[in-house]
Amino acid sequence: MSQFDISKSINILKYGLFVFLASIPAFILAGIVSVIFGAILWEALTASDGGGAGVMLLVGYLAIVFIWSLAAIQILAFAVDCAVSDANLSGHESLGYGGSWKAAVNITTELAVLLIGLVVLMYVGALIEIFAITLIGILMLSLMYMGLIPYVVRRTVEA
């Protein structure tokens, strides 16, 4: 029979606090970028000339998807790094907070082609008004984010 160990519960609270504190700058950055590019999206949606509105919509949406992906990856990488560092795995050196940002930028860069492709797929589906294409893009983006969790864990442990 296993004994009750309060230190494991304390570790869970510690990880929660670390993730909360690490997420504040990430969410501030993502919020600022979202407001800036959200304004660009709004201008593109309300533009009556129609000339460059499509490109502005695509660029604005891409920027928002990229920055929120970066923020989520950074938070996940930091949390995984804290847990792996506490486990004292042989050969693992802690990334630290700055290292988690570096890992997040590297992973987001690796995802760039896939993210751009999926956003363009959803955009084209909406542009030609074929909901099935947009839905396929949304489903593939969801699968990418689900697969991102184990990928970030692997990349964080390998670093």
Task: Average the pLDDT over each of 7-11, 23-27, 127-131, 141-145 and give the range with the smallest value.
Answer: 7-11
Give the other-Cβ count within 10 Å of 101's Cβ: 20
Residue 114 covered by a domain:
yes
Please give the full DSSP string across 57-109, using - where no structure is assigned: HHHHHHHHHHHHHHHHHHHHHHHHHHHHHHTT-TT----HHHHHHHHHHHHHH
- In whole angstroms, give the CA distance from residue 40 to residue 64: 11
pLDDT bin (cut points 50, 70, 90) of residue 2 is low
Residue 1 covered by a domain:
no
Q: What is the pLDDT of residues 125-148, one digit of tens each?
A: 988 888 899 999 999 999 999 999
Is the predicted pLDDT of residue 1 greater than 60, yes or no? Answer: no
Domain that holds residue 134: 6-158
Per-residue confidence (pLDDT) for residue 156, from 0 to 100: 87
